[in-house]
């Protein structure tokens, strides 16, 4: 298959982003042994924010503007999705956490049907069924708090990623990333402050107190934030250059990268049921992409 040069560039950017996102998750996994997922989210964005601002000073940002609420929506929802995601990273294997996050196309299709009245083809309905069958295998047919957070990551990611392409003609890609990073610092900071006074089983993913990083934690923080920032830039750029469906399909490469990193860090080899569940979720996403 011959792709347009811009499409090829979009695919390469998404492959680079997937590799960097897998690295981000690997460093986050190392950090969750000494701090809560909310603080991991804070540091992930704090380091990234510094890097993005440095890039902005080197080359001034120029925006057309016109969609401030969409920009804010992307930042807030993306941050909450990151909170639920890092919670699952700390509680399960890297491969499981990543596969849960890749349920995003399933929720995108469902949201489009209920909120925008888009037609669901027979292929799309089949893909949704296949996807949830994969989730059942992945979770062992249990619906615990952990699995709820995994699915919530997919749902919120669907909301956040859908907004990225709609911002293309209005904002510089660094502005889109900056919105995400700024809310990704402010919201976790407020939550860590609140965690000093409140506890909640329902909002356990969002309430954990600040713990001063020690020793090698600082190295993992810098590496995690750097990988996340450049991964975010490459992902945003990929959506700017190629169609969302092609970029989304390429993004599944992160499952392979994360599984490999997880095994290196000591995760157990995936069981046949987990492999089958993950494969069904990926297949579901592919079917949904082809049905668009």
CA–CA distance, 234 with 77 (Å, rounded to integer)? 20
CA–CA distance, 74 with 156 (Å, rounded to integer)? 10
pLDDT digits (tens, 9 = 90+) for 172-225: 777 777 888 899 999 999 999 999 999 888 899 999 999 999 999 999 999 998
CA dihedral 165, 168, 169, 173 (to 10 degrees): 170
User: Judging by beta carbons within 10 Å of its beta carbon (0-12, 13-18, 19+), is residue 31 exposed, middle or buried?
Assistant: buried
Closest CA to 210 of 64, 39, 81: 39
User: Judging by beta carbons within 10 Å of its beta carbon (0-12, 13-18, 19+), is residue 271 exposed, middle or buried?
Assistant: exposed
User: Judging by beta carbons within 10 Å of its beta carbon (0-12, 13-18, 19+), is residue 116 exposed, middle or buried?
Assistant: exposed
pLDDT digits (tens, 9 = 90+) for 5-26: 677 888 899 999 999 999 999 9
User: Judging by beta carbons within 10 Å of its beta carbon (0-12, 13-18, 19+), is residue 46 exposed, middle or buried?
Assistant: middle
Question: Model-level pTM?
Answer: 0.86
Q: What is the DSSP string of the chain?
A: -PPPHHHHHHHHHHHHHHHHHHHHHHHHHHHTTTS-HHHHHHHHHHHHHHHHHHHHHHS--------HHHHHHHHHHHHHHHHHHHHHHHHS-HHHHHHHHTTHHHHHHHHHHHHH-PPPPHHHHHHHHHHHHHHHHHHTT---HHHHHHHHHHHHHHHHHHHHHHTTTTS-HHHHHHHHHHHHHHHHHHHHHHTTT---STTGGG--------TTHHHHHHHHHHHHHHHHHHHHHHHHHS-HHHHHHHTTHHHHHHHHHHHHTTPPPPPHHHHHHHHHHHHHHHHHHHH-
Task: Output the tens digit of pLDDT for each of the chain's 292 residues.
Answer: 455 667 788 889 999 999 999 999 999 999 998 999 999 999 999 998 888 788 777 777 777 777 788 888 888 999 999 999 999 999 999 989 999 988 888 888 887 777 667 777 888 888 888 988 988 888 776 778 998 999 999 999 888 877 766 677 777 777 777 888 899 999 999 999 999 999 888 899 999 999 999 999 999 999 998 898 888 788 878 877 877 777 877 888 888 899 999 999 988 888 888 889 889 998 888 888 776 6
């Amino acid at each position: 298959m011959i792709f347009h040069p811009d499409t090829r560039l979009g695919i390469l950017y998404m492959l680079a982003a997937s590799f960097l996102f897998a690295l981000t998750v690997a460093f986050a996994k190392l950090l969750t042994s000494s701090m809560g997922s909310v603080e991991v989210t804070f540091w992930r964005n704090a380091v990234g924010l510094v890097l993005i601002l440095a890039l902005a000073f080197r080359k001034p940002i120029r925006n057309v503007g016109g969609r401030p609420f969409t920009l804010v929506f992307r930042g807030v929802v993306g941050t909450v999705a990151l909170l639920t995601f890092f919670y699952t990273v700390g509680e399960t294997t890297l491969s499981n956490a990543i596969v849960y996050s890749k349920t995003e196309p399933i929720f995108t299709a469902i949201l489009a049907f209920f909120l925008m009245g888009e037609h669901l083809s027979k292929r799309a309905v089949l893909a949704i069924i296949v996807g949830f069958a994969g989730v059942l295998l992945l979770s062992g047919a249990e619906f615990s708090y952990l699995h709820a957070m995994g699915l919530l990551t997919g749902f919120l990611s669907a909301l956040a990623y859908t907004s990225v392409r709609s911002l293309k003609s209005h904002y510089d890609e660094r502005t889109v990333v900056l919105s995400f990073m700024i809310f990704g610092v402010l919201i976790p900071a407020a939550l860590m402050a609140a965690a000093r006074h409140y506890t909640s089983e329902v909002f356990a993913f969002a309430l954990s107190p600040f713990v001063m990083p020690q020793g090698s934690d600082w190295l993992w923080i810098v590496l995690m934030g750097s990988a996340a920032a450049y991964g975010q830039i490459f992902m945003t750029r990929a959506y700017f250059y190629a169609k969302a469906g092609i970029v989304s399909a390429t993004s599944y490469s992160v499952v392979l990268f994360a599984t490999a990193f997880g095994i290196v860090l000591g995760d157990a080899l995936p069981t046949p049921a987990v492999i089958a569940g993950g494969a069904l979720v990926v297949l579901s996403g592919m079917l949904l992409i082809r049905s668009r």
